[in-house]
């Protein structure tokens, strides 16, 4: 999910109430405009270390500035603390940059960290999709920072180590160089008019990969562009119950977003409402292809929210940030 989605109240917008939709669509043009740019955004082989903050303990300091400066996880038991778009991660684990069925992209961002349940889910999806012969391997985008928390660029969620972005581009049959991992771009799956997928690009393998992702018991949501959801609704055969977890959202035309449910026995993790019942292939999907959803008018009164401060995150995030 994008940073801008947060400004619309991401969970409400996904639930799809009319008011939430109005709020959401006010910004959607910007979301849409940013989504391709984000997917194409290259990394760098020589990331510059962030300069020290003049007043890190100033209560007005943006939490993203603090969390971005922690290059390693907090050595604590693994816990997701808070909500997907307002929290942090203790005891983060890294996804190996190379697996037999995945490769991590944009290594310079140091965002291949997550709760162990997320790491296990990404690995399982990668292995299963390869074993079933539907997808050669995952190219993995951002998970979380080592201690989670808000990020300097890109995402509103991904804060508690339970979200992952996976490219809709299959992994090549070779190990990518470090430069390729920074420069390579994913492929846009959606037609220029935004009303459907690009037929020459969206394959049965894409459907099967999304099915395998959504069928994992600990995966609660898979976010895709509405045009991709439409293609899944049209083409899925057999058991279609997994479609309920695949939710339409702006952007997500180069990658899909995987969201894991709060792990069992993690009381500080605040759950999101479960997705609505049913396949979501009905009138609720049609709305995404109306003019107000496809080409919304920006709201001239809209102003960016000030960034979250540490005091606005769960109190335990202060400990996570300061821990060794
Ligand atoms: Zn995401």
Q: For residue 196, how far is its CA from the centre of ligand 1 (angstroms)?
A: 21
Judged on CB neighbours under 10 Å (0-12, 13-18, 19+), 92 is buried
Does the residue 64 lie in any domain?
Answer: no
Cβ-based neighbours of 210, under 8 Å, separated by 6 or more? 222, 224, 228, 232, 246, 256
Q: For residue 92, how far is its CA from the centre of ligand 1 (angstroms)?
A: 18
Do 139 and 167 contact (CB within 8 A), yes or no?
A: yes
Q: For residue 58, how far is its CA from the centre of ligand 1 (angstroms)?
A: 30
Q: For residue 90, how far is its CA from the centre of ligand 1 (angstroms)?
A: 20
User: What pLDDT score does 174 carry?
Assistant: 97
Q: For residue 50, how far is its CA from the centre of ligand 1 (angstroms)?
A: 23
Domain of residue 129, residue span: 3-42+77-322
The number of beta carbons lying within 10 Å of the beta carbon of residue 47 is: 12
Q: Average pLDDT of each block of 10 consecutive residues along the chain (324 residues)?
A: 36 40 40 44 84 93 97 96 98 97 97 98 98 98 98 94 98 97 96 97 98 98 98 98 97 97 95 95 96 91 93 98 95
Q: For residue 221, how far is its CA from the centre of ligand 1 (angstroms)?
A: 11
What pTM value is reported for the model? 0.88
Residue 293 belongs to domain with CATH number: 3.30.1380.10
User: What pLDDT score does 96 carry?
Assistant: 98
Does the residue 266 lie in any domain?
Answer: yes
User: What pLDDT score does 41 carry?
Assistant: 79
User: What pLDDT score does 43 carry?
Assistant: 86
Q: For residue 1, how far is its CA from the centre of ligand 1 (angstroms)?
A: 4
Does the residue 47 lie in any domain?
Answer: no
Does the residue 63 lie in any domain?
Answer: no
The number of beta carbons lying within 10 Å of the beta carbon of residue 106 is: 21
Does the residue 28 lie in any domain?
Answer: yes
Domain count within the chain:
1
Does the residue 199 lie in any domain?
Answer: yes
Q: For residue 35, how far is its CA from the centre of ligand 1 (angstroms)?
A: 11
Beta pairing class for 102-104 and 138-140: parallel
Q: Give every strand in the sheet of 246-248, ordered side by side.
A: 98-99, 102-104, 138-140, 163-167, 255-260, 219-224, 246-248
Helix (H, G, I), strand (E, B) or coil at 93: strand
Q: For residue 306, how far is its CA from the centre of ligand 1 (angstroms)?
A: 21
Does the residue 309 lie in any domain?
Answer: yes
């Amino acid at each position: 999910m994008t940073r801008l989605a947060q400004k619309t109240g991401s969970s409400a917008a996904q639930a799809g109430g009319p008011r939430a939709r109005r709020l959401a669509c006010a910004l959607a043009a910007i979301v849409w405009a940013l989504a391709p740019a984000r997917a194409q955004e290259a990394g760098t082989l020589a990331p510059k270390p962030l300069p020290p903050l003049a007043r890190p303990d100033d209560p007005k300091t943006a939490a993203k500035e603090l969390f971005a400066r922690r290059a390693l996880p907090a050595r604590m038991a693994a816990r997701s603390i808070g909500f997907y778009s307002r929290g942090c991660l203790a005891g983060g684990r890294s996804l190996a940059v190379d697996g037999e069925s995945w490769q991590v992209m944009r290594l310079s961002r140091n965002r291949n960290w997550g709760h162990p349940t997320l790491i296990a889910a990404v690995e399982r999806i990668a292995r299963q999709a390869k074993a079933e012969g539907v997808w050669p391997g995952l190219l993995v985008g951002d998970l979380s920072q080592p201690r989670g928390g808000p990020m300097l660029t890109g995402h509103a969620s991904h804060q508690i180590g339970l979200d992952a972005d996976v490219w809709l581009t299959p992994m090549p049959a070779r190990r990518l160089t470090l430069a390729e991992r920074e420069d390579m771009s994913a492929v846009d799956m959606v037609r220029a008019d935004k009303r459907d997928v690009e037929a020459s690009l969206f394959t049965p393998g894409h459907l099967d990969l999304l099915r395998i992702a959504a069928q994992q018991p600990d995966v609660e949501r898979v976010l895709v562009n509405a045009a991709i959801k439409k293609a899944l609704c049209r083409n899925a055969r057999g058991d279609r119950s997994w479609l309920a977890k695949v939710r339409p959202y702006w952007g997500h035309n180069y990658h899909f977003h995987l969201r894991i449910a709060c792990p069992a026995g993690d009381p500080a993790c605040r759950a999101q409402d479960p997705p609505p019942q049913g396949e979501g292939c009905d009138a609720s999907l049609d709305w995404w292809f109306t003019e107000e959803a496809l080409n919304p008018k920006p709201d001239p009164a809209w102003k960016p929210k000030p960034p979250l401060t540490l005091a606005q995150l769960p109190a335990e995030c202060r400990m996570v940030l300061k821990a060794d």
